[in-house]
Amino acid sequence: MNLSNLRIGQKAIVLEPEEGVSVKLFEMGCLPGEEIELLFVAPFRDPMCFRVQGTQISMRRSLAKRIPITRPHGS
């Protein structure tokens, strides 16, 4: 599973991302082991807005597809 599979209100734990993705994620505070929640999605499903470490971040769907997560929980 990856971040792009989450539905609004679902939460999951971020796993180790693909090579080359980690620097972008670290800069946004999205680290392996952190809980992340999908808050909303813009029209045409891009970009997506998440909450991680109490901060809202947005990212393109193409990046979200490259970030593995645990099985979602919540809504």
The answer to whether the bond into 47 is cis (omega within 30° of 0) is: yes
β-sheet bridge partners, residue 11: 37, 73
Give the C-alpha separation, 24 to 45, whole Å: 20
φ, ψ for residue 33, nearest 5 deg: 95, -10
User: 3-74 maps to which CATH number?
Assistant: 2.30.30.90
- Encode pLDDT of 22-44 as tens digits: 777 778 888 899 999 999 999 98
**Whole-structure pTM value:** 0.87
Predicted confidence (pLDDT) at residue 75 exceeds the cutoff of 70 = no
18 contacts 2 by C-beta, under 8 angstroms: no
Q: What pLDDT is attached to residue 19?
A: 76
